[in-house]
């Protein structure tokens, strides 16, 4: 069948060459022949459509231990009744935000933290198709030189110079239980795609005593390179079932060779998934500051990489030999190398600037100066633009 | 000079990499193996830099959809509910008088005190979640006194109720060059 159609097409094309006839485009037989082309059903099977039996998220977190409704609502009802009986309603100043937050951490926080972590795409970048509800609230704070603390919440901005020293971490835990804390950066790997840098790794923490845990990888401050924007730094707290040997992840202190800090949270979790359960989550964002230049030069012993965002090129209509009704100078400039044009402008500017002479005063109304009427109009327009510093004359 | 790329969740573009001035010997260290591009997978990064694509919406939209994050305040007979919504559809931050954490201190969950508290708590959560600017369609001159109270408390909490415009790169045919947000840094000094 398909051969027959192809032969027909070939013969028809030959005929058209001899005697050109206009054929309506919609009358043309489009696509492959019916017995070769796949049906819609076959096509849909091939695409990666959403399939609930395959594409579902797995909860890898701690289970939700629900208290009974009666147990929960009893004291709540009493509290509300006492408030309603009180003579005066409390004013806005009397209600403390700290106490609301304290209660929030016990009740609604885990679900809202999960929602914001999904908004920051943390589960997908760290665990792939898995997620967890952070049941254990962690409080993390960086001590500052002036005595204050910079807390880590769920996406707040912390500058690298504020996070030089390891933070103080606390959470509620049974002293006999064991925990693991990992700080990882999924955004900043310089030499590998889809990899992370581990900034801190402490295993086998008895209770909430971080100092008594094994320091597997020592702390390294965040170092988002210049021009890369904000990077996420994620603290994940795991609950351990038993003592675990992390010797394959052990690094010498201080670990300043960055390739040794390459880390994959998903692979790490897969390796120990029978003994660890993610319980707590907290993260912050960090972007470049001036203190990092010294950090790159002196601590990491490398030149500081500087990145620059280059926006996608705008669409240009392909040039033609004889453009009609186009301004010739602008049309020609559009298709020239932009770097060459900027270079010419810079050289032109440097000719007028002298470091040993005082700067010439700028006119308030530069276009009020007399014009040379003998020049062609296109050149006079360019001169006007140059005087007003429009377009490409912005830097002049 | 090497050609480099920065990969973001929503936009892909080339970037060039250069080096800061420093000792030439530093180039030979073990840390100097680079990929020619860097991958920043943070989906909020480009929105912070205000270069992420922002939906422009349609003229006949009932409510304009030209935002990255939007503030919505809901008032029912019994409760106050305020939340921040992303244009892709997810509810990111919520504060409601239905939550026990807020409700426990309130005599009534629909009066002006409740409205003020919902505004304050939402602002606090936004700060914790790193969302400092949200779009708000509310006109302070036309809203009811209670909604004004919510809006004021959000603003006093440190949240700007206006989002910056999307930055479009300077082309030589556009009249004025705007400041490139990728090259703006706070002038904070360490030590």
Range of the domain at A20: 2-46
Statement to judge: residues A269 and A149 lie in one domain: yes
User: pLDDT category, A266, cuts 50, 70, 90?
Assistant: very high
Cα→Cα distances B184→A308, A338, A395, B179, Å: 12, 24, 17, 8
pLDDT digits (tens, 9 = 90+) for A50-68: 777 778 899 999 998 888 8
Residue A15 pLDDT: 65
Q: CB-hemisphere CA count at 13 Å for B30? A: 9
User: pLDDT category, B189, cuts 50, 70, 90?
Assistant: very low
Question: Average pLDDT of A3-29?
Answer: 65
In chain A, % of residues over pLDDT 90:
58
Q: CA angle, A143 as apex, A138 and A144 as ends, to 5°?
A: 145
Backbone phi and psi for residue A261, each to the nearest 5 degrees, phi listed first: -95, 5
DSSP one-letter code for B24: G
DSSP, residue by residue, A354-372: -TTSPPPPPPSSGGGS---
pLDDT score of A49 more than 70: no
pLDDT score of B14 more than 90: no
Statement to judge: residues A11 and A155 lie in one domain: no
pLDDT digits (tens, 9 = 90+) for A325-361: 999 888 988 888 888 888 998 998 898 888 899 988 8
What total number of domains does chain A contain?
3
Cα→Cα distances A289→A9, A141, A253, B148, Å: 66, 20, 25, 38
pLDDT score of B15 more than 60: no
Statement to judge: residues A177 and A294 lie in one domain: yes
CA A339 to CA A336: how far, in whole Å?
9
Strand partners, A135: none
Residue B19 pLDDT: 61
**Checking DSSP bridges between strand A276-286 and strand A154-157, what pairing results, if any?**
parallel
User: Chain A residues with CB inside 8 Å of B22's CB?
Assistant: 297, 303-304
Picking from A104, A161, A193, the nearest residue to B39 by CB comes out as: A193
All residues at 6 or more sequence positions from A141 whose CB lies less than 8 Å from its CB, including other chains: A149, A150, A151, A152, A167, A168
**Helices then strands (H, E): number in chain B?**
4, 6
A115–B90: do the CB atoms touch at under 8 Å? yes
Residue A171 pLDDT: 96
Backbone phi and psi for residue B125, each to the nearest 5 degrees, phi listed first: -70, -40
User: Chain B residues with CB inside 8 Å of A314's CB?
Assistant: 171
Residue B135 pLDDT: 95
Alpha-helical runs (H) found in chain A: 2-18, 40-46, 69-85, 97-106, 109-119, 122-127, 265-272, 291-294, 328-334, 338-352, 377-388
User: pLDDT category, A167, cuts 50, 70, 90?
Assistant: very high
Of A299, A319, A353, the last residue of a domain is A299
**Checking DSSP bridges between strand A276-286 and strand A58-59, what pairing results, if any?**
unpaired
Q: What is the ipTM of this complex?
A: 0.88
Residue B179 pLDDT: 81
CATH 3.30.70.100, applies to B69-156 = no
Specify whether the CB–CB gap between A181 and A210 falls below 8 A: yes
Alpha-helical runs (H) found in B34-83: 45-48
B35–A86: do the CB atoms touch at under 8 Å? no
Burial class of residue A383 in the structure, from the number of CB atoms within 10 Å of its CB (0-12 exposed, 13-18 middle, 19+ buried):
middle
CA B170 to CA B80: how far, in whole Å?
44
SS3 A82: helix
Residues in chain B: 191
All residues at 6 or more sequence positions from B12 whose CB lies less than 8 Å from its CB, including other chains: B5
Statement to judge: residues A121 and A189 lie in one domain: yes
Residue A214: which CATH number? 3.90.280.10
Judge whether A90 lies within some domain. Answer: no
B90–A84: do the CB atoms touch at under 8 Å? no
Statement to judge: residues A106 and A203 lie in one domain: yes
pLDDT score of B7 more than 50: no
Statement to judge: residues A112 and A241 lie in one domain: yes
CA A208 to CA A182: how far, in whole Å?
14
Statement to judge: residues A293 and A333 lie in one domain: no
pLDDT digits (tens, 9 = 90+) for A132-141: 999 999 999 9
Specify whether the CB–CB gap between B62 and B94 falls below 8 A: no
Statement to judge: residues A143 and A285 lie in one domain: yes
Residue A95 pLDDT: 87
Judge whether A87 lies within some domain. Answer: no
User: pLDDT category, B1, cuts 50, 70, 90?
Assistant: very low
User: CB neighbours (10 Å) of residue A214?
Assistant: 16
- What Rg, from alpha-carbon coordinates, does chain B have? 22
Judge whether A203 lies within some domain. Answer: yes
CA A22 to CA A1: how far, in whole Å?
26
Statement to judge: residues A196 and A281 lie in one domain: yes
Residue B2 pLDDT: 31
Question: What is the average pLDDT value for chain B, to the nearest integer?
Answer: 83
Specify whether the CB–CB gap between A225 and A180 falls below 8 A: no
Of B39, B86, B119, which to mutate for an interface test with A (greatest number of A Cβ within 10 Å)?
A: B39
B99–A104: do the CB atoms touch at under 8 Å? yes
Question: Average pLDDT of A306-332?
Answer: 87
The tokens of A69 are what? 């409704």
A154–B34: do the CB atoms touch at under 8 Å? no
DSSP, residue by residue, A191-259: SSTT-EEEEEEEEEEETT-GGGSEEEE------PPBTS--EEEEEEEEEESS----GGG--PSS---GG
pLDDT score of B24 more than 80: no
Interface check B10 vs A, CB under 8 A: no
CA A284 to CA A232: how far, in whole Å?
6
* Nearest-neighbour CA in chain B from A93: distance (Å): 10
Question: Average pLDDT of A255-259?
Answer: 92
Question: Average pLDDT of A289-306?
Answer: 90
Question: What is the average pLDDT value for chain A, to the nearest integer?
Answer: 89
**Domain layout of chain B by residue ranges:** 2-41, 69-156
Question: Average pLDDT of B84-99?
Answer: 94
Statement to judge: residues A22 and A132 lie in one domain: no
pLDDT score of A114 more than 90: yes
pLDDT score of A81 more than 80: yes
DSSP, residue by residue, B101-167: HHHTT-S-SSSHHHHHHHHHHHHHHHHHTT--B-B----TTTS-HHHHHHHHHHHHTT-BSSPPPPP
Cα→Cα distances B42→A124, A256, A334, Å: 11, 24, 35
If you search the block for the tokens 């620059």, which residue do you land on?
Answer: A308
Residue A44 pLDDT: 74
Judge whether A126 lies within some domain. Answer: yes
Question: Average pLDDT of A109-114?
Answer: 96
Interface check A232 vs B, CB under 8 A: yes
Residue B26 pLDDT: 63
User: pLDDT category, A217, cuts 50, 70, 90?
Assistant: very high
Query: CA nearest B20: which of A301, A293, A159, A292?
Result: A293
All residues at 6 or more sequence positions from A180 whose CB lies less than 8 Å from its CB, including other chains: A201, A202, A203, A204, A205, A213, A237, A238, A240, A244, A276
Interface check A382 vs B, CB under 8 A: no
SS3 A344: helix
Which stretch, A88-92, A298-302, A303-307, B172-176, has highest mean pLDDT? A298-302
pLDDT digits (tens, 9 = 90+) for A150-166: 999 999 999 999 999 99
SS3 A2: helix
User: pLDDT category, B109, cuts 50, 70, 90?
Assistant: very high
Judge whether A85 lies within some domain. Answer: no
Residues in chain A: 396
pLDDT score of B35 more than 90: no
């Amino acid at each position: 069948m398909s051969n027959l159609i192809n032969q027909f097409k070939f013969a028809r094309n030959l005929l058209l060459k001899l005697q050109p006839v206009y054929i309506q485009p919609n009358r043309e037989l489009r696509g492959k022949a019916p017995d070769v082309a796949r049906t819609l059903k076959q096509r849909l099977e091939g695409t990666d459509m959403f399939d609930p039996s395959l594409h579902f998220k797995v909860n890898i977190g701690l289970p939700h231990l629900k208290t009974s409704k009666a147990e929960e609502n009893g004291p709540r009802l009493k509290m509300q009744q006492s408030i309603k009986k009180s003579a005066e309603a409390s004013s806005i100043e009397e209600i403390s935000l700290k106490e609301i937050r304290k209660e929030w951490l016990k009740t609604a926080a885990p679900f809202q933290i999960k929602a914001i972590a999904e908004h920051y795409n943390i589960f997908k970048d760290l665990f792939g198709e898995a997620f967890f509800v952070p049941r254990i609230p962690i409080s993390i704070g960086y001590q500052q030189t002036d005595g204050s603390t910079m807390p880590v919440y769920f996406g707040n901005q912390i500058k690298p110079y504020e996070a030089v020293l390891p933070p103080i971490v606390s959470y509620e835990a049974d002293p006999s239980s064991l925990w693991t804390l990992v700080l990882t950066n999924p955004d900043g790997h310089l030499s590998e795609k889809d990899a992370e840098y581990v900034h801190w790794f402490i295993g086998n923490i008895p209770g909430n005593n971080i100092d008594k845990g094994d320091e597997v990888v020592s702390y390294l401050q965040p170092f988002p390179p210049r021009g890369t924007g904000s990077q996420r730094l994620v603290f994940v707290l795991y609950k351990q079932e038993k003592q675990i040997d992390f010797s394959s992840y052990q690094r010498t202190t201080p670990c300043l060779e960055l390739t040794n800090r390459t880390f994959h949270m998903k692979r790490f979790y897969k390796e120990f998934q029978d003994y660890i359960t993610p319980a707590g989550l907290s993260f912050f964002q960090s972007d470049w500051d001036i203190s990092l230049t010294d950090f790159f030069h002196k601590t990491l012993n490398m030149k500081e990489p500087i990145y620059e965002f280059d926006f996608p090129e705008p669409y240009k209509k392909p040039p033609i030999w004889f453009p009609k009704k186009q301004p010739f100078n602008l049309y020609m400039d559009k298709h020239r190398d932009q770097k060459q044009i900027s270079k010419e402008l810079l050289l032109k500017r440097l000719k007028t600037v002298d470091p040993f002479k005082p700067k010439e005063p700028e006119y308030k109304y530069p276009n009020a100066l007399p014009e040379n009427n003998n020049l062609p109009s296109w050149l006079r327009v360019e001169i006007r633009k140059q005087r007003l510093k429009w377009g490409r004359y912005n830097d002049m | 000079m090497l050609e480099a790329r920065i990969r973001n969740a929503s936009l892909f573009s080339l970037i060039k990499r250069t080096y800061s001035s420093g000792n030439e010997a530093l180039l030979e260290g073990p840390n100097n193996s680079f990929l020619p591009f860097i991958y920043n997978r943070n989906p909020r990064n480009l929105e912070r830099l205000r270069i992420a694509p922002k939906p422009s919406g349609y003229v006949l939209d009932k409510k304009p959809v030209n935002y990255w994050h939007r503030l919505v305040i809901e008032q029912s007979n019994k409760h106050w509910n305020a939340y921040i919504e992303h244009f892709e559809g997810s509810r990111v931050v919520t504060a409601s008088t239905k939550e026990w954490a807020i409700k426990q201190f309130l005599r009534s969950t629909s009066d002006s005190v409740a409205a003020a508290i919902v505004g304050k708590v939402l602002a606090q959560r936004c700060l914790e979640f790193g969302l400092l600017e949200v779009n708000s369609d509310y006109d302070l001159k036309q809203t009811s006194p209670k909604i004004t109270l919510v809006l004021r408390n959000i603003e006093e909490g440190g949240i700007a109720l206006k989002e910056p415009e999307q930055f479009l790169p300077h082309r030589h045919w556009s009249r004025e060059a705007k400041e490139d947000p990728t090259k703006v840094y706070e002038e904070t000094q360490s030590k």
